[in-house]
Structure 1
Amino acid sequence: MTENDSTREAPAMPSAQQREHLEPTEHSRPIPLLAAVVTVGVVLFGVGYIALSDPPGSAALGDGRTLADLRSAPSTAGKPVGAVDGKQLFAAQCVACHQATGKGLPGVFPPLDGSEWVLGDAHTVARILLNGIEGEITVAGNAYKGNMPAFKQLGDAELAALASHVRSQWSNKAAPIPAEVFAQERKGNLRTKPFAGGAELKSAQGGKPP
């Protein structure tokens, strides 16, 4: 190698390569001491609070029973919860049309108070509730034309409680209807549409008045 070769300068790097940064390197950075202390403190405070505090909620908002009461209470599994509330069913299903007074709305919804249909044959009442009515029906001497929906979605006990409530309210003094009447009518019911007014209802009971 000649002296000229040893003193020859290295070729200049392209400008694009000169702008590149150094290769990134990996190294660990420990959590700052202050952040670690605060985190541990919050965790310890939470554990201590849960361990030492009472159960959430106020005991005054419960029914007052203690654990001993609950352990000694007789089991109700398989037993009926209680009688069906016909008044509650009436408020949920009927009061919007027939009103809390049972008087209905003149010319629009017929009254239940004093209705010959309500006070009449128990099986006719069951058919009305199970199938509904569309068309003209005369109640207490006044004609009404509308649509009463069917209540097949309710159980037999619920329908019996509802009908019995209506038959004993206001000026009504009719006997209650047992759930068996609704069970019989439901079993033998082949209808797929509501009754076409009072005329068809009468024909369904042999032409007898309600």
Structure 2
Amino acid sequence: MVADEAPAGTLRPGGRTARVRRAVLRATGDVLAEKGFRHLDLAEVAERAGVGKTTVYRRWGSAAGLVAELLVEMAEDSLPRTDTGSLLGDLRANARLVQRTLTDPRQGPLFKAVIAAASWDERTAEALHRFYDTRLQEWAPCVRQAVDRGEVPTGTDAREVIRAVSAPLYHRLLLSGDPLDEAAADRAAEAAAAAARAGAYVVPAAGSANSATAHLP
């Protein structure tokens, strides 16, 4: 038992609670990577983490609760964005980070398991959306800085540019089976940067011809 129990999702720095949380989330990630979400058993997680089953059931309540907090931790622990001084350099750094994560022997299977679970478990889907939104927020400033430098047009949707970088990499991971290597990461960054420079991600201003047309029946 943990004396300073906290409700699921509540984070407290330091102390035994923090150590238990780290151990449980580490065990959660291990089981996900090895067996997938459907075999994520709270009793097994507790055993691997070296804590009582009651602690895990009381704090997290379900497999989805464990995954939700694991994704919070993963977002918090993700490397901060790189500022290279150019849009292409920044997007290449982002793409290579995604590529390294998805091909990591542990992280790659873990992400596959979470993405698969998100297709049918609503709470896991919500947690995954929050994780990805956090990463978009972290990297979007590199596009806004590129706008300020005049590299891309005013009105460029920063989040769409970042999505364009990672989308082909996730496609390789989950669908095509094509090599997910550094060359693929660089191509994804180069394609997104070229499209951004060409104005592909500019959001039409309210009242513009394109915006008006979009609302015609």
Name which structure has the greater RCO, CA cutoff 8 Å, separation 6+. Answer: 2
TM-score of the two chains, using structure 2 as the length reference: 0.29
Provide TM-score, normalisation by structure 1.
0.30
Q: Which has the higher helix share?
A: 2
- The structure whose residues are more often strand, as a share, is 1
